[in-house]
Chains A and B, each alone.
Chain A
Amino acid sequence: MTRYSARVYRLAYGITRNAPDAEEVVQDVFLQIVYKGGGFEGRAALGSWIYRITTNLSLNKRRGKRRELETSLDELLPTYLADGHRAGDRAFLVADWSGTPERELLSGESRRLLEAAIDRLPEHYRAVLVLKDVEELSNEEVAQVVGDTVAAVKTRLHRARMALREQLTRHLGAGA
């Protein structure tokens, strides 16, 4: 149970970004497991079902809340010239802050910026990001959980990561 509750909480918090909401989702998920979980044939089916109901309950919990904070991703995606090269100032385009130690990036202003950027991702993008990058599901498994195509999952995941990257680069790029 501890293993499943840890997974459920990580996913619920990852989507709702709110501890009390995530706790309620965990309780609701486990009530469903207690009352409906006996009918599963194998652990794999149960695991997939748990991810699915956790995602749905988390998205429902989040619905209508803090939607005003969500960013339009379009302004955070790369732009291109007609010939397919990136558009923009060259110093910004070649800014590479990836050598900065992770410990440094995960503290202080960079961490706050990244947390806020994750908060502002549209919820369906954040759900895919957490399922793939935190829970380490395959694209096919994520697609099953969220009930969408693999292509749609891959697009959302890539756009979410690009949006986070852009915000970090705007913050860190000048000093890189």
Chain B
Amino acid sequence: MTCREAIDVLADYLDRTMPADLAAELERHLAGCEPCRAYLATYRKTRALGTAVARVEMPDEMQARLLRFLADKLRSS
């Protein structure tokens, strides 16, 4: 397995949707390849950080506005 092939399958590896023989081949590659180990570690961390930053919750006051908006619409329809 080359670095290109290893990086191509990292998402499947983290999702655990990869066939066991391919996962074993990737792990053998990782064991001998420091750049790919660093890539996997930082890719995994990026996924966690991206999730945290992209997750923005609805403010409470907006929830209240939505209820008022829908009530007004229903009354006027």
Using a CB–CB distance below 8 Å, which chain A residues touch chain B? Answer: 2, 5-6, 9-10, 13-14, 19, 23, 26-27, 30-31, 34, 78, 80, 83-86, 90, 93-98, 102, 105-106, 110-111, 114-115, 118, 126, 129-130, 133-134, 139, 154, 157-158, 161-162, 164-165, 168-169
Number of interface residues of B (CB under 8 A): 44
A97 to B44 CA separation, bound complex (whole angstroms):
11
A98 near B42 with CB under 8 A, answer yes
Query: Residue B34 at the A interface, CB < 8 A?
Result: yes
Query: What number of residue pairs across chains A and B have CB atoms under 8 A from each other?
Result: 133
Asked if A154 contacts B49 (CB within 8 A), the reply is: no
Interface mask (B31-62 → A, CB under 8 Å = 1, otherwise 0): 00011111101111111111111111111001
Task: Tell me whether A96 and B41 are in contact (CB under 8 A).
Answer: yes
A65 to B52, CA, bound (A): 24
B44 with A98: CB separation less than 8 A: yes
> 11 more A-B contacts (CB under 8 A) besides A84-B2, A164-B49?
A9-B56, A14-B56, A26-B58, A27-B69, A80-B4, A84-B4, A85-B2, A95-B42, A130-B54, A162-B7, A168-B42
Taking a contact as CB atoms under 8 Å apart, the answer to whether B52 and A34 are in contact is: no
* CA of A93 to CA of B39, assembled, Å: 8
A106-B47 contact, Cβ under 8 Å, with A96-B41, A96-B42, A97-B42: no
Residues of A within 8 A of B39 (CB): 78, 86, 93, 165
Structural contact, B73 and A168, CB atoms closer than 8 A: no
Q: How far is the CB of B60 from chain A (nearest CB, A)?
A: 10
